[in-house]
Copies of this chain bind each other. A is one copy, B any other.
């Protein structure tokens, strides 16, 4: 709650507001706007300049954008609406009731409406859904001077001006020229001499994660989206793709924690939604883990003879799980960013197995010391130590192989989450433990 802003609004102090707004970035003003009462929101928007209001509104969540806009009167309403970036308008329209969509569409000019309608048909998380149509297109037959005059005419409305996309008479994308190159060129040069023809573009249906990967790889700040016959549909800007990079990393995090990814920010999820996203994996893991009961009941006799063996069950299987968890999180991420590929299987396996042997030896020694402190037999201590060694090696090998194989099979390797590998190692670890016990204790 910003009291200074509230007072300015109560006093309707235009000069004070201009001075206040100049002190903050639009992103910060958006945060303040969201915290205001409804009537204050309307007042603030009507007192600020249209370009600044539009910029602020673009930072809000789609449903809040709609609610604030819906309380604004004409003609400011349609002026603001037309000032918003097309990708923002599309996101807002997708977030509200279809009935309201038609009303809003009525305030947009015919050709803009048609383009928005097309953008709205693109699937969620696709390249098309991220595209804006507020880019500058020009013809390859134009001269530099002609292009610059065109930019001066339409530039104020465009979201991207650093790159000018060049199309032919059929709307097919034939090249790109940067504003920098236009400035450096001679006014009478034709665009076709300047354009970069082997530019990178993406098809409408490409998944947003892949688009973000391309942007990161080639160090781009904008990527054109093309439809059939290479027709230019729109352009994706780097800021939207940075949001995608964050979103995708968040999803991978949640998957690695053994949960289905939440599609909304944390607080937007109801308890029911959190339950739904989590119960699936919890049940699968529960059923898989239930196998440990079968293993243990199978060794009931061994256990009742040597009850002290039970003391080390959580420690041994826990250590296996921790080792596996370290490896799978590293590998799943390395696969996601392309550092590791299936062809590296044996290199990864060798590296992890050797590291596992050194880790296992270290932990085996510590396990023996721990067992002695608990006052059990040296024989049992030896079983625990040897088991620690083998469980760590076993967990390392499984955790090294599984993510790479799943990636190869085009299954998201993130399903091998920490909890998944922990569960897998628990049952098999118990088998290693009791096999060792039977052999070493002659049971």
Confirm or deny: A418 has a beta carbon within 8 angstroms of a beta carbon on chain B: yes
Taking a contact as CB atoms under 8 Å apart, the answer to whether B290 and A315 are in contact is yes
Taken together as a complex, chains A and B put the C-alpha atoms of A321 and B370 apart, in Å, by 23
Confirm or deny: A52 has a beta carbon within 8 angstroms of a beta carbon on chain B: no
Confirm or deny: A286 has a beta carbon within 8 angstroms of a beta carbon on chain B: yes
Taken together as a complex, chains A and B put the C-alpha atoms of A208 and B243 apart, in Å, by 17
Confirm or deny: A275 has a beta carbon within 8 angstroms of a beta carbon on chain B: yes
A238-B238, A265-B339, A358-B271 as given contacts; A311 in contact with B333, CB under 8 Å: no
Confirm or deny: A405 has a beta carbon within 8 angstroms of a beta carbon on chain B: no
Chain B: which residue is nearest A388 at the CB level? Answer: B286
A257-B330, A275-B358, A370-B290 as given contacts; A419 in contact with B325, CB under 8 Å: yes
* B-chain residues with CB within 8 Å of residue A347 when the two chains form the complex: 267
Taken together as a complex, chains A and B put the C-alpha atoms of A297 and B355 apart, in Å, by 32
Taking a contact as CB atoms under 8 Å apart, the answer to whether A314 and B339 are in contact is no
Taking a contact as CB atoms under 8 Å apart, the answer to whether B155 and A183 are in contact is yes
Taking a contact as CB atoms under 8 Å apart, the answer to whether A293 and B311 are in contact is yes
CB distance from A201 to the nearest CB of B (A): 12
CB distance from A70 to the nearest CB of B (A): 25
* B-chain residues with CB within 8 Å of residue A283 when the two chains form the complex: 362-363, 366
* B-chain residues with CB within 8 Å of residue A426 when the two chains form the complex: 314, 318
Confirm or deny: A216 has a beta carbon within 8 angstroms of a beta carbon on chain B: yes
Taken together as a complex, chains A and B put the C-alpha atoms of A245 and B287 apart, in Å, by 37
Interface residues on A, range: 35 or more
* B-chain residues with CB within 8 Å of residue A367 when the two chains form the complex: 286
Confirm or deny: A307 has a beta carbon within 8 angstroms of a beta carbon on chain B: yes
Taken together as a complex, chains A and B put the C-alpha atoms of A290 and B388 apart, in Å, by 13
Confirm or deny: A340 has a beta carbon within 8 angstroms of a beta carbon on chain B: yes
A252: contacting residue among B198, B253, B278, B362, CB under 8 A: B253
Chain B: which residue is nearest A266 at the CB level? Answer: B334
* B-chain residues with CB within 8 Å of residue A315 when the two chains form the complex: 286, 289-290, 292-293
Taken together as a complex, chains A and B put the C-alpha atoms of A312 and B289 apart, in Å, by 10
CB distance from A151 to the nearest CB of B (A): 6
A198-B22, A322-B419, A330-B266 as given contacts; A243 in contact with B216, CB under 8 Å: yes
CB distance from A26 to the nearest CB of B (A): 8
What would 4 more interface pairs be, CB under 8 Å, given A152-B184, A257-B327, A258-B326?
A: A253-B253, A278-B359, A286-B319, A292-B314
Taking a contact as CB atoms under 8 Å apart, the answer to whether A351 and B221 are in contact is no
Q: Which of A148-166 contact B (CB under 8 A)?
A: 148, 151-152, 155-156, 161-162
* B-chain residues with CB within 8 Å of residue A178 when the two chains form the complex: 161
* B-chain residues with CB within 8 Å of residue A430 when the two chains form the complex: 314
Confirm or deny: A379 has a beta carbon within 8 angstroms of a beta carbon on chain B: no
Chain B: which residue is nearest A22 at the CB level? Answer: B198
Chain A positions within 8 Å of B, measured between CB atoms, are 22-25, 27, 148, 151-152, 155-156, 161-162, 178-180, 183-184, 198, 200, 215-221, 238-239, 242-243, 245-246, 249-250, 252-254, 256-259, 262, 265-267, 271, 274-275, 278-279, 281-283, 285-287, 289-290, 292-294, 296-297, 300, 303-304, 307-308, 310-315, 317-319, 321-323, 325-334, 337, 339-340, 344, 347, 351-352, 354-355, 358-359, 362-363, 366-367, 370, 374, 417-419, 422-423, 426-427, 430
A156: contacting residue among B184, B334, B366, CB under 8 A: B184
Taken together as a complex, chains A and B put the C-alpha atoms of A351 and B351 apart, in Å, by 42
Taking a contact as CB atoms under 8 Å apart, the answer to whether B339 and A311 are in contact is no
Taking a contact as CB atoms under 8 Å apart, the answer to whether B329 and A256 are in contact is yes
CB distance from A256 to the nearest CB of B (A): 6
* B-chain residues with CB within 8 Å of residue A25 when the two chains form the complex: 198, 200, 218
A283-B366, A293-B312, A419-B326 as given contacts; A242 in contact with B257, CB under 8 Å: no
A258-B322, A289-B318, A310-B313 as given contacts; A183 in contact with B216, CB under 8 Å: no
In order of increasing CB-CB distance, the 7 nearest A-B pairs are A257-B329, A219-B239, A418-B418, A292-B314, A161-B180, A259-B326, A249-B249
Chain B: which residue is nearest A197 at the CB level? Answer: B22
CB distance from A28 to the nearest CB of B (A): 9
